[in-house]
Amino acid sequence: MKPSRPRLVPPKQPAADPVEPAGPVGPILHANLTVIEVADPFLLQTLRADRRVGSAILAQLSDCVAIIQPGQGEWIIKQLLKAGHTPKVIDA
Amino acid sequence: MSWGYRRSAPPQQFPLDYAAHLPKYNAEVLKKLARLWVGKDATKLNKEACTKAILRGLTDPAAVQAVIDGLSPFERAGLGLLKRHGQSAPTREFAVELLMLGLPFSGREQRPSYSYHRIEPFYGALNGLLGKGLVLLREWDQAYGYARDLQIDEYHYRPEVFSDPGLLAGVEVTPPTALSLTPVGGVDESGLALQPAEVVLRFVSLVETLRKLGRIDLTSKGRPTKPFLTKLTKALGWEETLGTVSDTPLPQATLFFFQLLQSAGFLRNGPPFSGVALHPQANALFEAPYNAQAATWIRGYRSLTRWTEHVPQGMWLEEDDESGFAKFASLRAALLMALAALPDATAWYRLADLSEEMYDRIGEHFSLRHLQNFYVAYNAIPEQVTKQRAEWQQELHKRWREAEQVWVARAVIGPLFHLGLIALSRQASEKKTEPTLFRLTPLGRAVLYDSFRPTGETTAAALPAVVQDGTCWVVQPNFDVVVYLDRASAARLAFIERIAARKPSTGATALYHLTRDTVYAVLESGLEPGALLETLSRGCDYPLPENIRQTLADWAARREQLAVYRVANVLEFADQQTRDTALAKKPGGGVAVGERYILLSGRQRGRVLSASTSRTVDYLSPPVRCLNVSEEGEVEVAHKRADLLVQGELSAWADADSANGNRWRITRHSVQKAVSTGWTADNILDNLKRRLQHDLPPLLSVAIRAWAGVRTLPTTVAVATDLVLQVTDLEVARAIGGSTLLQPYLRGRLGRQTFLVKHEMVEAFRARLAEFGLQVSGDLELLSSGWKD
């Protein structure tokens, strides 16, 4: 059985670390992510509440954008179709 | 030098050129060939001079014309046949076509000088042309030595014959001698026949279904894999109707049409490990004139492999062995020649009569099964020879009726009917349900019959013109689309195949049904919603019903509500201001998401990869190790190394520290909550281990298992009221022995699984163990009293 997660925690602003020195100024590039984007925040909440789909949503960047667990892209597309959604799948 | 196996390049065929082939022959052979061009003087020439004489002759139009004038009708017709093929033809098929010309050929009694076998009459006609050098066998570049004979027998390995373009230019395509068939009168003219548009629809459906399925999986032998074929069969939905239900059965219809597509060259190798793919120009053929389309399918059909009309009893055929299908290709070539040799292109004939006529021309030279040869007994007198020959012929004829005649009927009723080339009927007096009469359709006549005859010799068949794009369907409010095939262009058919599901229908109309799934699939394939509505409206006889228009728009809009980026990049900035500044500097460089992120997809990804970033986290690689955990379950995220997912992972099986976003705690409560949502102890431990920057403390591992209620690991320990701790499980004992947290409670270790506990700390130790889910057994407490005494 695939484990489902009880709740979702959006990535937080790193807490100030007095020990480690300040890092470089440039942004961090997160590459090769599978991302889900919705037009209505309520839809994302609905997806998160879905036991099957919600388990694969690991992080939320905004009200409408979330990140899928790596390697679960095809699985989640299938689950969305099964749940009656018609996702627009955007390839690289 | 190594004597081991050395991989060499696969053999390549020589170019279709006499100059490339002549040096492969020895002097004796070349002298025979040169006789055609220089007469008897050829015997005095050496090898080089012979070659020059032949090549000089081929380039001299007057010499070529003189040679052609001196040829027999059979030789001229044979060259004409090769001209019809192009410049080259498959050897076996060409050999049988020569026999089917119905012209007497010389060299029937020629026998290869190197062979002890009796002559192979199957190649007798071809050997007549080869012997004079009018056609040559196409050679391989890795063949050794010189060819010592021009003629071939059954055991040749030259799959192609060719001739010189100069020679072919001087001859005309000649029709085969007409068969002695008697037309059948009083036949119901309507009969059974497919319209060209119905055939186009069949192929359009196949091509569009293959396009929808995407990947085409073939076995290493080139046959479609069974799962793929099952999927294709299900998607097309023809198999049962075409195979059994109709009066014109086509067995394994899906495989037939697929193999035909492959044989006609519309499948090509895709990228490595991705099987084969449809040729991009596959749809262009459907817009060509019907006779051009039919000619392509006929070429593919003649050389079709891995599918056959009928396998006669006693014939062994291996599915993956392509050479095993060569005999069927030969018989198909013979059948197509027989149809070109009909006395009247518009008359009805009996199928059985056609088979008999084919037997007359090739029956003694060819059999799908083993061909029984005729041997004359030693010292037999002429009367005995005549009698034996008659018996042999009788036996051959009987075997033909058992095998080849059945095959001919199946080929005409099956593939040729379904390609729209043959019309079928039966006489009213016959009780049989299956058709027994046939005639050429206008399309069949144009492709099979008229193509052998010069324009003007026969009345050209009346073929319908290929339909141009126009209105051809009616969209009904219940989402059904009725397509009128006589007005539907190939492009319109391809479009409707893509956007709607085909429903069973026959005759002049095809019925489709628009569904949310089919519309979604076509939008996913790249069609814009506007183009979908516009094309559907343009093809419609009447204005599109308003409910259809609205529903299609709704389905398209709904798709826009939810997007999944298969591969995207995210740029994370320190704060919103930095992000907005970066975005302002580079407009169009991504989409702002949340407070600190920019989402990059498609081309934007490539552009930003070269931008200066402080760190790159690749989510295709193993997860970043950014956690530290203590024996007590305190988890700390090293935020400088953290990725976007670690917090989400932790939230599944750890409790967040409300004061510090980078601190978490694994507790009995958090583990039990994770277990209640489907996690197991192993899942949690694996997840944790992949993220840790150090080894997982054994005590925490034991505790997580215990909290998760894993029963396979005994967790019972005992504490003596005084000083002794006995642990039944070695793993737990190791965890306790290695724990820095528990060290203050222990005085020492007595053995691998026995510890000495400080007397004054026994109760505190017992409580500590209970926190980690390790229950203390009362039995061992009693034991410990005895031990003390």
The 3 state secondary structure assigned to A24-78 is CCCCEEEEEEEEEEECCHHHHHHHHHCHHHHCCEEEECCCCEEEECCCCHHHHHH
Nearest to B100 by CA among B343, B326, B350, B363: B363
Work out the pLDDT band at B148, boundaries 50, 70, 90.
low
**Which of A71-85, B212-226, B273-287, B463-477 is predicted least confidently?**
B273-287
The beta-carbon contacts of B725-732 under 8 Å, at least 24 apart in sequence, are: B725/B754, B725/B755, B725/B756, B725/B757, B725/B765, B726/B753, B726/B754, B726/B780, B726/B783, B727/B753, B727/B754, B727/B755, B728/B753, B729/B753, B731/B698, B731/B702, B732/B702, B732/B774
**b/e for B95-124, b at 16 or more Cβ within 10 A?**
bbbbbbbbbebbbeeebbeeeeeebbbbbb
Q: How many Cβ atoms from other residues are within 10 Å of residue B82's Cβ? A: 25
Residues A63-78: what's their mean pLDDT? 92
B4-48 pLDDT, tens per residue? 455 566 778 888 889 988 988 888 889 989 998 988 888 888 889
pLDDT higher than 90, residue B531: yes
* B142 lies within 8 A of chain A by CB: no
Residues of chain A contacting residue B619, judged by C-beta atoms under 8 Å apart: 30-33, 70
Work out the pLDDT band at B675, boundaries 50, 70, 90.
confident
CB B320 within 8 A of CB B221: yes
| CB-neighbour burial class of residue B183 (10 A; exposed 0-12, middle 13-18, buried 19+) | middle
| C-alpha torsion angle, residues B195, B196, B198, B204 (rounded to 10) | 180
Closest Cβ opposite residue A9 in set B579, B598, B647: B647
Q: Is the CB of B640 less than 8 angstroms away from the CB of A80?
A: no
B675 versus B349: which is more confidently predicted? B349
Work out the pLDDT band at B241, boundaries 50, 70, 90.
confident
Q: Which two tokens stand for residue B448?
A: 């099979």
B239 versus B589: which is more confidently predicted? B239
| CB-neighbour burial class of residue B162 (10 A; exposed 0-12, middle 13-18, buried 19+) | buried
User: Sign of the C-alpha dihedral, residues A16, A18, A24, A30?
Assistant: negative
Q: What is the ipTM of this complex?
A: 0.82
Residues A2-10: what's their mean pLDDT? 48
Residues B574-581: what's their mean pLDDT? 88
Residues B60-80: what's their mean pLDDT? 93
Compute CA distances B223 → A14, B29, B130, B259, B265, whole Å: 57, 41, 35, 9, 15
Q: Nearest C-alpha of chain A: how many angstroms from B693?
A: 16
CB B420 within 8 A of CB B195: yes
Interface-testing mutation among A7, A8, A13, A35, with chain B (most B C-beta atoms within 10 A) = A35
Which of B30-39, B133-142, B499-508, B600-609 is the most confident on average? B30-39
Half-sphere exposure of B767 (CA within 13 A, CB side): 3
B552-562 pLDDT, tens per residue? 999 999 999 99
Q: Nearest C-alpha of chain A: how many angstroms from B19?
A: 52
Residues of chain A contacting residue B667, judged by C-beta atoms under 8 Å apart: none
Q: Nearest C-alpha of chain B: how many angstroms from A88?
A: 5
Q: Nearest C-alpha of chain B: how many angstroms from A79?
A: 12
Distance CA B127, CA B74 (A): 12
Task: Give the pLDDT of residue B270.
Answer: 65
Q: Nearest C-alpha of chain B: how many angstroms from A69?
A: 8
Q: Is the CB of B677 less than 8 angstroms away from the CB of A40?
A: no
Specify the DSSP class assigned to residue B542.
Answer: S
Task: Give the pLDDT of residue B143.
Answer: 63
Work out the pLDDT band at B717, boundaries 50, 70, 90.
low
**Which of B140-154, B654-668, B694-708 is predicted least confidently?**
B140-154
B598-621 pLDDT, tens per residue? 888 766 665 654 457 788 889 988
Nearest to B554 by CA among B533, B526, B534: B533
CB B462 within 8 A of CB B291: no
pLDDT higher than 80, residue A56: yes
* B555 lies within 8 A of chain A by CB: yes
Residues of chain B contacting residue A73, judged by C-beta atoms under 8 Å apart: 564, 566
pLDDT higher than 60, residue B2: no
Q: Is the CB of B594 less than 8 angstroms away from the CB of A5?
A: no
B261-298 pLDDT, tens per residue? 999 988 887 666 556 788 877 888 888 888 899 999 99
Residues B645-653: what's their mean pLDDT? 88
Task: Give the pLDDT of residue B742.
Answer: 84
Residue with tokens 């081309």: B603
Work out the pLDDT band at B685, boundaries 50, 70, 90.
very high
Distance CA B645, CA A8 (A): 10
Task: Give the pLDDT of residue B721.
Answer: 55
pLDDT higher than 70, residue B116: no
Residues B331-348: what's their mean pLDDT? 95
Apex CA B678: angle with CA A85 and CA B691, to 5°? 95
Residues B206-216: what's their mean pLDDT? 86
* B551 lies within 8 A of chain A by CB: no
Residues of chain B contacting residue A70, judged by C-beta atoms under 8 Å apart: 619-620, 645
Nearest CA in chain B to A61: B594
The beta-carbon contacts of B426-429 under 8 Å, at least 24 apart in sequence, are: B427/B184, B427/B186, B427/B187, B428/B188
Task: Give the pLDDT of residue B14.
Answer: 86
Closest Cβ opposite residue A73 in set B562, B566, B661: B566
Task: Give the pLDDT of residue B97.
Answer: 95
Distance CA B115, CA B123 (A): 14
Task: Give the pLDDT of residue B7.
Answer: 55
Task: Give the pLDDT of residue B757.
Answer: 80
pLDDT higher than 50, residue B789: no
pLDDT higher than 80, residue B758: no
CB A58 within 8 A of CB A67: yes
* DSSP SS3 for B195: coil
Which of B452-456, B494-498, B598-602 is the most confident on average? B494-498
Closest Cβ opposite residue B678 in set A4, A80, A86: A4
Specify the DSSP class assigned to residue B777.
Answer: P
Task: Give the pLDDT of residue B606.
Answer: 59
Distance CA B370, CA B541 (A): 59
B317 versus A23: which is more confidently predicted? B317
B181-197 pLDDT, tens per residue? 999 987 877 778 998 88
Residues of chain B contacting residue A91, judged by C-beta atoms under 8 Å apart: 566-567
Residue with tokens 């998760």: B708
Q: Nearest C-alpha of chain B: how many angstroms from A60?
A: 9
Interface-testing mutation among B551, B560, B565, with chain A (most A C-beta atoms within 10 A) = B565
Task: Give the pLDDT of residue B562.
Answer: 94
The alpha carbons of chain A give a radius of gyration, in whole angstroms, of 15
Q: How many Cβ atoms from other residues are within 10 Å of residue B69's Cβ? A: 9
Mean pLDDT in chain B? Answer: 84
The answer for B 503-532 residues in CB contact with A (under 8 A) is: 516, 520, 523-524
Task: Give the pLDDT of residue B714.
Answer: 52
B760-784 pLDDT, tens per residue? 777 888 888 888 877 766 433 434 4
Q: Is the CB of B570 less than 8 angstroms away from the CB of A30?
A: yes
Task: Give the pLDDT of residue B1.
Answer: 43
* B173 lies within 8 A of chain A by CB: no
B342-356 pLDDT, tens per residue? 999 999 999 999 999
Work out the pLDDT band at B106, boundaries 50, 70, 90.
low
Distance CA A78, CA A59 (A): 20
Task: Give the pLDDT of residue B475.
Answer: 94
Distance CA B757, CA B749 (A): 9
Interface-testing mutation among B570, B615, B677, with chain A (most A C-beta atoms within 10 A) = B570
CB B361 within 8 A of CB B470: no
Residues of chain A contacting residue B601, judged by C-beta atoms under 8 Å apart: 35, 90, 92
Task: Give the pLDDT of residue B582.
Answer: 84
Nearest CA in chain A to B579: A27
Residues of chain B contacting residue A86, judged by C-beta atoms under 8 Å apart: 516, 520, 555, 558-559, 562
* DSSP SS3 for B10: coil
* B685 lies within 8 A of chain A by CB: no
B118 versus B744: which is more confidently predicted? B744
Residues B238-251: what's their mean pLDDT? 84
pLDDT higher than 80, residue B402: yes
pLDDT higher than 50, residue B234: yes
Residues of chain A contacting residue B639, judged by C-beta atoms under 8 Å apart: 14-15, 17
> DSSP 3-state helix, strand, coil percentages of chain B (rounded to 5)?
45, 15, 40
Nearest to B190 by CA among B507, B602, B405: B507
Residue contacts between A and B (CB atoms, under 8 Å): 220
B728 versus B649: which is more confidently predicted? B649
Distance CA B720, CA B754 (A): 11
Q: Nearest C-alpha of chain B: how many angstroms from A83?
A: 13
The answer for B 382-411 residues in CB contact with A (under 8 A) is: none
Residues B380-398: what's their mean pLDDT? 88
Q: Is the CB of B565 less than 8 angstroms away from the CB of A34?
A: yes
pLDDT higher than 60, residue A90: yes
* B647 lies within 8 A of chain A by CB: yes
**Which of B51-60, B598-607, B646-655, B672-681 is predicted least confidently?**
B598-607
**Which of B398-402, B575-579, B723-727 is predicted least confidently?**
B723-727
Pairing of strands A28-38, B615-618: parallel
Q: Give percent above pLDDT 70 in chain B.
A: 89
B6 versus B49: which is more confidently predicted? B49
B776 phi and psi angles, rounded to 5 deg: -100, 130
Task: Give the pLDDT of residue A22.
Answer: 39
